[in-house]
Structure 1
Amino acid sequence: MDRLTLRLPPDLVRRFDAAAAGRGGRSRFLRRLMEEAAQAPLPAPVAATPAGRTGKLTLRLAEADLALLEAEAAVLGLSRTQWSVALIRRRLQRRPQLTPPEAVAFIEVQRELRRIGVNINQIARAMNTAVLEGTVLDLEVAQLAAFGDEIRAHLTGLRAAFEGNLAYWSDGT
């Protein structure tokens, strides 16, 4: 004989047990409900799952492991589900998984780099349209060099952040 196992909320189990009490008990009542359902006409086949839909994955962890998972997720400001999904996506997609604060930081770096790029374009345009001599040209060249240093520093920080993110989510191999 086959066996089915269900996980139900306690309230639903109490209500079902109350309904089954006068009908021969939990197993007999459930068997009768299933036999009645099996006599009904079969529903139309379900269409294939459209792209973009999600599936559900359920994990059972020992209490100690679950506590460690919750603590690790809390460090990043994530729920245990969000942390688990990020870990799985990192391994499957081999891309960084950003927490909300990290995403905001990366957006800010992007904004700063755009600002610097606009300034460099303005300086280059001015240098192309004007004949600059002596001190004025030296100041503009120095400004460009400073912007170059600033961009390199931002890119180094960005690279370090991505490497740190990838290292966090990797398995260490």
Structure 2
Amino acid sequence: MDRLTVRLPPDLIRRFDAAAAGRGGRSRLLRSLVEGAAHAALPETAAPSVSRLDAKLSLRLDPDDLALLEAEAARAGLSRTQWTVALIRRRLHERPQLSPSEAVAFVGIQRELRRIGVNVNQIARALNTAVLDGKVLDLEIAQLADFAAEIRAHLDGLQDAFRGNLDYWSDC
């Protein structure tokens, strides 16, 4: 038999319980209301509702496991549901799952890499269009090498961050 779960505000559930008391209790009244609605003719124009999420997964954990889950989720800056979904998605899709703080950090790294890339393009354009004396050319080439080293350092940091993220979710 399928189960139907309904969340109601406390005032509404108290009034429903009062109505259900004389009709065999909550389950019996709910069942009769659902049967009545199922027998009612639906309008022909009613389109099936499309939900972004098609299924719900419920877990029952003992209090100790729930406390550990909540602590781990809080440490990652996520709710317990977000943490659990991230864990499942990591295992199913084998992609990094970013917490809000990690996402902000990655956006910052992207911004810096773009800024450096613009500078490198400007230097390369200047080197291609100008005939420079030996000293000036050496300075430009040195600056270009510094930018290349900075880009490599940022890319290494980005790779380390992704590797750490993947390792975190793989160890769970």
CA shift, 1:74, in A, is: 0.8
For residue 119 of structure 2, what is the aligned residue in structure 1?
Answer: 119
Cα distance in 1 for residues equivalent to 2:97 and 2:149: 28
Q: Provide the secondary structure at the position in 2 that maps to 1:78.
A: coil
What residue number does 1:79 align with? 79
What is the 5 A alignment of 1:4-153?
Answer: 11=10, 14-26=14-26, 29-30=29-30, 32-33=32-33, 36-37=36-37, 39-41=39-41, 50=50, 53-55=52-54, 56-153=56-153
**Post-superposition shift, 1:120?**
1.0
Q: Distance in 2 between matches of 1:122 and 1:5?
A: 63
Aligned-residue offset at 1:71:
0.8
Give 1:133 shift. 2.3
Q: 1:10 to 1:62 in 2, by over 3 A?
A: farther
Shift of 1:114: 1.0
Question: TM-score by structure 1 length?
Answer: 0.80
**Change in 2 beyond 3 A, CA 1:5/1:150:** closer
SS of 2:52's equivalent in the other structure is coil
Equivalent residues, number: 170
Scaled by the length of structure 2, what TM-score is found?
0.81
What displacement does 1:31 show?
Answer: 5.5
How large is the Cα RMSD of the aligned pairs?
2.9
Which moves more between the two structures, 14-23 or 53-62?
14-23
Deviation track 1:70-100 (CA, whole Å, cap 9, x = no partner) reads: 1111112111111111111111111111111
Deviation at 1:128, TM superposition (A): 1.2
TM-superposed deviation, 1:127: 1.1
Change in Cα spacing, 1:29 to 1:95, as seen in structure 2 (3 Å) is closer
Structure 2: unaligned runs, 5 residues or longer: none
Relative to structure 1, is the Cα distance of residues 111 and 10 closer, same or farther in structure 2, using a 3 angstrom cutoff?
Answer: closer
Percent identical across equivalent pairs?
A: 69
- State the AA in 2 paired with 1:110: Q
The letter for the 1-side match of 2:151 is I
Distance in 2 (alpha carbons) for counterparts of 1:39 and 1:128? 79
Give 5+ residue unaligned stretches, structure 1: none
Q: Which amino acid aligns with 2:148?
A: G
